[in-house]
């Protein structure tokens, strides 16, 4: 047995240490705060080392070898009949890179949490141990999702993360705000859970549909040319859609929920109520990336039938992805411009950047999407951790209008934050964000103007505008936070927190700069060369992609996007500086944008009123419906049955008694007593909190379905005859 044979087993063990850490902390060590964080970090370090061993063992200049022979091990989980449900792990080029960035960001965030949750060792959070237990479980979910070799396992870990997200957003559940309109952590957790649930249910439908259509959920079998060919030809329930398209659309529903795309984006900004390491880990670097990761993973399925050289037909899922991605990217960028909370700006920026990836997938640029996914994870985790450092350093002040002048007081945080900001805005040449965003824009331009896909033109224009806005709000954020004079006492007394906080910042800053150099396009002047785009050669050969050679990929440099991508970021940053940096705001002075944007500003500030719209369209009607159902279905219909049965039996009992007084024995007595009691006390509603009442409703509907199943045709015929049809 060689080392290479052991790698799949090592891969299977990666999610294990953090899970053990979770169990140990919850069961035994929740009283000892330092022991808890040592266990969690130790476990994460072990997982990190294992992940890095796997990554560096499989990495190669060309990914085809790994794509054809991925690290793969599986065991039968539960044989049922002829089919056995198999569980296993799989590492292909995409999985290797995702494992790489997930293990790094998770480790950084674990270390950072020590400083953040204890405020630099001075004041430990009362639920400090529980926090580390939760994030350990979360890391298990993310690592497990990365190595999963089938959709079902992916979904299980996906749900584990959803649960952790809920627990961690509501971590400070006792917190209330004086303003009832402001979402408190409890509500934010619920909102996140319920909103993503919508997407998850749609995704589960997609998984079930795929299984019923193909009989397998394993990525290797699903994404083989053979299966994809069958799915492409198979008609679905909806006329005009192939089975592949329908399954793809349903799966994409999961991405929309998890990666916070319009119209399910509303949970992510409110999720900022959680502790900042959580925001960084779950809501920037890992969990929200899982949605895009799944879409990239299933991309061969989503694009089945797309052939750029023969008619250039985008498939339905691709069109949907391109539209939703473009719209979310632009909308979120505009909202971010008008936010004052330092974390909310970053939250909307996350929605916007994830939307870039979705839009890139929509026009076929899956490598660019994967590249941006990883680059974004590094710089956005960095930005969030930086903002957390600012928040703790300036005594829990989150309003940028009350910051200012922090550069001198928190130099390490400031420099790393600015590095992250420049990377986010795609500042040319030196930052990872430039290379990844440039690749998306270049492919979009190529597909739109050289290949003639009209939709790609739209994608390009709006993504470019969005990039300009991104640079502008990044400039605004940096100027408001670090330049000028402090605009409150808190900011005036700000200071660096501790080494556990800024060491992870430095580590992530290095990646936010240097990660981009493994993905320089071949056609780039001077820097580009035959082997410069390592990322493309490696990840481009991901599982199932042998079926898709016909994707837009620029063969030579397009001058216009090249020049534009050099100009957009500096221009946006410059605009931000001119508005906010040249004449720094004074305390109490309103945002200059209020005047400049006029009536548009409140719209942006209130996030296009989407929350209000959802409240009016979904939540209020749901409450009304619930009240209506309660009144008519519960009290009138179900209780009515109960009452009438009771009344009838009561009457019978009376008859019995009058008829047969002499032979009334204990049995009948008992029955009438029971019925009498029932008739008198039966006036109960069914929402009693008693399981038995709920189970009764289940039984009731079960019988109803049974009757429909058995006599459905007869009933239908009867109704038809009754209506004279």
Partner 1 sequence: MMVQLEWYLILAAALFCVGLYGVLVRRNAVAILMGIELMLNAVNINLLAFWRFTEPAAATGQAFAAFVYAVAAAEVAVGLALIVAIYRNRQTVDMDQINLLKW
Partner 2 sequence: MTQLVLFVIFGAITLAAAIAVVTARNLFHAVLWLLLAFFGVAGLYVLLEAPFFAAAQLFIYMGAIGVLIIYALMLTRGVMRQQVPLVNDQWALVAVLAVALLAVLSWLFLQHTWPTVDQAVGPDSLRTLGEALVDPGRYGFPFEVASVLLVMALIGAVTIVRER
Binding to partner 2 in span 436-465, by CB under 8 A: none
Of the pair 691, 723, the CB lying nearest partner 1 is at 691
| DSSP assignment of 22-52 | HHHHHHT-TT-HHHHHHHHHHHHHHHHHHHH
Contact between 723 and partner 2 by CB under 8 A: the answer reads: no
The option from partner 2, partner 1, none interacting with 707 (CB < 5 to 8 A, set by class) reads partner 2
Residue 23 in the binding site for partner 2 (CB under 8 A): no
Kindly tell me which residue out of 454, 560, 594, 703 binds partner 2, with binding defined by CB under 8 A.
703
> Could you tell me which residues come within 8 angstroms of residue 187 by beta carbon, excluding any fewer than 6 positions away?
270
Tell me whether residue 76 or residue 126 sits nearer to partner 2 (CB atom): 76
Q: Which is nearer to partner 1, 567 or 710 (CB)?
A: 710
| CB contact at 8 A, 64 and 58 | no
Rounded to a whole number of angstroms, the minimum distance from the CB of residue 69 to partner 2 is 23
CA distance 514 to 512: 6
Judged by CB under 8 A, the stretch of 324-332, 470-478, 611-619, 700-708 that binds partner 2 is 700-708
In the region spanning residues 250 to 289, those forming contacts with partner 1, defined by CB under 8 A, are: none
223 or 646, CB closer to partner 2? 646
In Å, how far are 29, 43, 173 from 133, measured between CA atoms? 10, 11, 17
Choice between 610 and 645, CB closer to partner 2:
645
**Is residue 190 involved in binding partner 1 (CB under 8 A)?**
no
- Nearest distance, CB of residue 638 and partner 1, angstroms: 14
Collect contacts of 637-642 with beta carbons under 8 A, ≥24 apart. Answer: 638/686, 638/697, 638/700, 639/682, 639/683, 639/684, 639/685, 639/686, 642/682
Number of residues that bind partner 2 (CB under 8 A): 28
Subset of residues 423 to 452 that bind partner 1, contact rule: CB under 8 A: none
Applying CB under 8 A, which part among 234-242, 586-594, 703-711, 717-725 lies near partner 2?
703-711
**According to the binding rule CB under 8 A, does residue 527 interact with partner 2?**
no
Please report whether residue 710 would count as binding partner 2 according to CB under 8 A: yes
CA distance 475 to 544: 41
- Tell me how far apart the alpha carbons of residues 621 and 311 are, in angstroms, rounded to a whole number: 45
Exactly one of 699, 707, 716, 719 binds partner 1 (CB under 8 A); which one? 699
Pick from partner 1, partner 2, none: which does 665 bind, CB < 5 to 8 A by kind? none
Q: Please pick, from the candidates 176, 212, 485, 688, the single residue that binds partner 1 as defined by CB under 8 A.
A: 688
644 scored as a contact of partner 1 (CB under 8 A): no
Return the one option of partner 2, partner 1, none that residue 691 interacts with (CB less than 5 to 8 A, by type): partner 1
Q: Applying CB under 8 A, does 702 fall inside the site for partner 2?
A: yes
Strand, helix or coil for residue 528: coil
Q: Interface residues for partner 1 in 362-401 (CB under 8 A)? A: none
Q: Is 692 in the site for partner 1 (CB under 8 A)?
A: yes
Is 706 an interacting residue with respect to partner 2 (CB under 8 A)?
yes
Task: Find, among 604, 612, 609, the residue nearest to 335 by Cα.
Answer: 604
Choosing from 578, 616, 695, 717, the residue that interacts with partner 1 (CB under 8 A) is 695
Structure tokens at 301: 């399925």
- Return d(Cα 91, Cα 543) in angstroms, integer: 9
The stretch near partner 1 (CB under 8 A) out of 367-375, 577-585, 596-604, 683-691 is: 683-691
Answer for which of 1, 691, 722, 723 binds partner 1 (CB under 8 A) is 691
Strand 83-91 versus strand 71-80 pairing type? antiparallel
Residue 580: which residues within 8 A CB-CB, separation 6 or more?
475, 476, 479, 480, 483, 592
Interface characters, 61-90, with partner 2 (x: CB under 8 A): --------------xxxxx-----------
**CA separation, residue 651 to residues 344, 645, 646, 656 (Å):** 66, 10, 8, 8
- 81 binds, options partner 1, partner 2, none, Cβ within 5 to 8 A by partner type: partner 1
Among partner 1, partner 2, none, what does residue 77 contact (CB within 5–8 Å per kind)? partner 2
Token output for 625: 């419906």
Determine the Cα–Cα distance for residues 639 and 677; give it in Å rounded to an integer: 15
Looking at the Cβ atoms of 24 and 649, the one nearer to partner 2 is 649
Q: Binder to partner 1 among 212, 313, 589, 687 (CB under 8 A)? A: 687
- Is residue 706 part of the contact set for partner 1 (CB under 8 A)? no
Rounded to whole angstroms, how far apart are CA atoms 400 and 460? 32
Smallest gap from residue 678 Cβ to partner 2 (A): 5
Q: Which does 563 bind (CB under 5 to 8 A by kind): partner 1, partner 2, none?
A: none
Binding to partner 2 in span 671-690, by CB under 8 A: 674-675, 677-678, 681-682, 684
3-13 helix and 33-58 helix, angle to the nearest 10 degrees: 140
Based on the shown chain and the rule CB under 8 A, indicate whether residue 693 belongs to the binding site for partner 2: yes
From residue 630, give the alpha-carbon distance in Å to each of 671, 702, 703: 30, 20, 21
- Cα–Cα distance measured from residue 269 to residue 309, given in angstroms and rounded to the nearest whole number: 41
CA distance 162 to 183: 19
Burial of 693 by CB count in 10 Å (0-12 exposed, 13-18 middle, 19+ buried)? middle
The C-alpha atoms of residue 690 and residue 44 are separated, in whole angstroms, by 43
DSSP-derived 3-state class of residue 88:
strand
Of partner 1, partner 2, none, which one does residue 617 interact with (CB within 5 to 8 Å by kind)? none
Q: Count other C-beta atoms under 10 Å from residue 110's C-beta.
A: 28
Among partner 2, partner 1, none, the one that 687 touches (CB under a kind-dependent 5 to 8 A) is partner 1
From 417, 132, 407, select the one nearest 281 (Cα to Cα).
132
Angle subtended at Cα 381 by Cα 376 and Cα 382, rounded to the nearest 5 degrees = 100
Contacting range for partner 1; rule: CB under 8 A; set: 17-25, 394-402, 583-591, 685-693:
685-693
Which stretch in 18-26, 288-296, 502-510, 684-692 sits in contact with partner 1 by CB under 8 A? Answer: 684-692
Dist. CA 200–CA 254, nearest whole Å: 5
Question: What does the chain come to in residues?
Answer: 725
Partner from partner 2, partner 1, none contacting 700, C-beta within 5 to 8 A by type: partner 2
Q: At what angle do helices 128-147 and 16-27 cross, to 10 degrees?
A: 160
Lay out the site mask for partner 1 across 56-95 (x = CB under 8 A, - = otherwise).
-----------------------xxx--------------
Structural tokens at position 25: 């902390």
Backbone phi and psi for residue 72, each to the nearest 5 degrees, phi listed first? -150, 130
CB atoms within 10 A of CB 433: 31
At its nearest, how many Å lie between partner 2 and the CB of residue 646?
7
Q: What is the footprint of partner 2 within residues 627-656 (CB under 8 A)?
A: 641-642, 645-646, 649
- Helix (H/G/I), strand (E/B), else coil: 76: strand
Nearest CB to partner 2, comparing residues 19 and 580: 19
Measured CA to CA, the distance from residue 179 to residue 432 in angstroms comes to 40
**Cβ of residue 628: shortest distance to partner 1, in angstroms?**
18
- Contact residues toward partner 1 (CB under 8 A) are 79-81, 687-692, 695-696, 699
- Contact residues toward partner 2 (CB under 8 A) are 75-79, 641-642, 645-646, 649, 674-675, 677-678, 681-682, 684, 692-693, 696, 699-700, 702-703, 706-707, 709-710
């Amino acid at each position: 047995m060689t080392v290479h044979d052991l790698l799949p087993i090592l891969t299977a063990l990666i999610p294990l240490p953090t899970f053990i850490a979770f169990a140990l902390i919850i069961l035994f060590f929740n009283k000892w705060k330092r022991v808890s964080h040592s266990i969690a970090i130790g476990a994460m370090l072990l997982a990190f080392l294992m992940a890095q061993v796997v990554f560096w063992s499989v990495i190669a200049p060309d990914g085809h070898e790994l794509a054809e022979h991925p690290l793969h091990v599986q065991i039968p989980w539960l044989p049922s009949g002829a089919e056995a449900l198999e569980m296993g792990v799989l590492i292909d080029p995409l999985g290797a890179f995702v494992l790489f960035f997930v293990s790094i960001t998770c480790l950084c965030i674990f270390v950072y949490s020590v400083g953040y949750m204890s405020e630099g060792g001075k004041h430990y959070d009362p639920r400090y141990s529980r926090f580390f237990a939760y994030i350990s479980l979360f890391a298990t979910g993310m690592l497990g999702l990365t190595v999963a070799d089938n959709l079902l396992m992916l979904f299980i870990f996906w749900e584990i993360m959803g649960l952790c997200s809920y627990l961690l957003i509501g971590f400070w559940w006792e917190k209330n705000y004086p303003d009832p309109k402001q979402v408190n952590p409890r509500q934010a957790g619920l909102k996140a859970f319920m909103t993503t649930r919508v997407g998850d249910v749609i995704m589960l439908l997609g998984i079930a549909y795929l299984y019923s259509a193909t009989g397998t959920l394993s990525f290797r079998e699903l994404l083989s040319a053979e299966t994809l060919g069958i799915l492409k030809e198979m008609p679905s329930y909806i006329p005009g859609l192939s089975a592949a398209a329908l399954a793809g659309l349903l799966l994409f529903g999961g991405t929309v929920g998890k990666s916070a795309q319009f119209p399910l984006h509303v949970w992510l900004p409110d999720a900022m109520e959680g502790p900042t390491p959580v925001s960084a880990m779950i809501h920037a670097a890992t969990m929200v990336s899982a949605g895009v990761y799944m879409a990239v993973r299933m991309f061969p399925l989503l694009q089945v039938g797309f052939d750029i050289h023969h008619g250039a037909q985008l498939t339905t899922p691709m069109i949907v992805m391109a539209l939703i991605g473009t719209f979310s990217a632009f909308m979120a960028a505009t909202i971010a411009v008008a936010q004052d909370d330092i974390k909310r700006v970053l939250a909307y920026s996350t929605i916007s950047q994830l939307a870039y990836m979705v839009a890139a997938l929509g026009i076929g640029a899956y490598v660019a999407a994967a590249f941006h996914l990883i680059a974004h994870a590094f710089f956005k985790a960095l930005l969030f951790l930086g903002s957390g450092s600012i928040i703790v350093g300036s005594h829990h002040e989150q309003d940028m209008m009350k910051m200012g002048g922090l550069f001198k007081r928190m130099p390490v945080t400031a420099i790393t934050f600015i590095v992250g900001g420049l990377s986010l805005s795609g500042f040319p040449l030196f930052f990872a964000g430039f290379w990844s965003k440039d690749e998306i824009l270049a492919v979009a331009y190529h597909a739109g103007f050289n290949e003639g896909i009209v939709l790609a033109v739209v994608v390009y224009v709006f993504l470019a505008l969005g990039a300009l806005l991104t640079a502008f709000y990044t400039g605004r954020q940096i100027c408001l936070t670090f330049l000028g004079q402090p605009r409150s006492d808190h900011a005036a007394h700000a200071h660096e927190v501790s080494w556990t906080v800024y060491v992870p910042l430095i580590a992530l800053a290095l990646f936010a700069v240097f990660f981009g150099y493994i993905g320089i396009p071949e056609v780039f002047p001077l820097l580009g060369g035959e082997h410069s785009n390592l990322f493309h050669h490696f990840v481009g050969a991901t599982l199932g992609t042998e079926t898709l050679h016909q994707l837009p990929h620029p063969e030579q440099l397009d001058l216009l996007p090249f020049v534009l991508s050099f100009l957009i970021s500096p221009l946006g940053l410059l605009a931000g500086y001119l508005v906010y940096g040249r004449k720094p705001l004074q305390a109490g002075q309103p945002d200059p944008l209020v005047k400049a944007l006029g009536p548009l500003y409140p719209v942006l500030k209130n996030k296009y009123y989407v929350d209000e719209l959802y409240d009016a369209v979904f939540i209020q009607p749901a409450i009304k419906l619930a009240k209506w159902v309660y009144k008519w279905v519960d009290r009138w219909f179900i209780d009515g049955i109960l009452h009438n049965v009771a009344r009838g039996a009561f009457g019978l009992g009376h008859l019995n008694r009058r008829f047969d007084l002499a032979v009334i024995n204990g049995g009948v007595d008992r029955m009438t007593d029971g019925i009498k009691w029932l008739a008198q006390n039966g006036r109960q509603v069914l929402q009693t909190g008693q399981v038995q009442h709920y189970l009764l409703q289940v039984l009731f509907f079960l019988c109803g379905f049974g009757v429909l199943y058995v006599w459905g045709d007869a009933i239908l015929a009867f109704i038809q005859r009754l209506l004279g049809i």
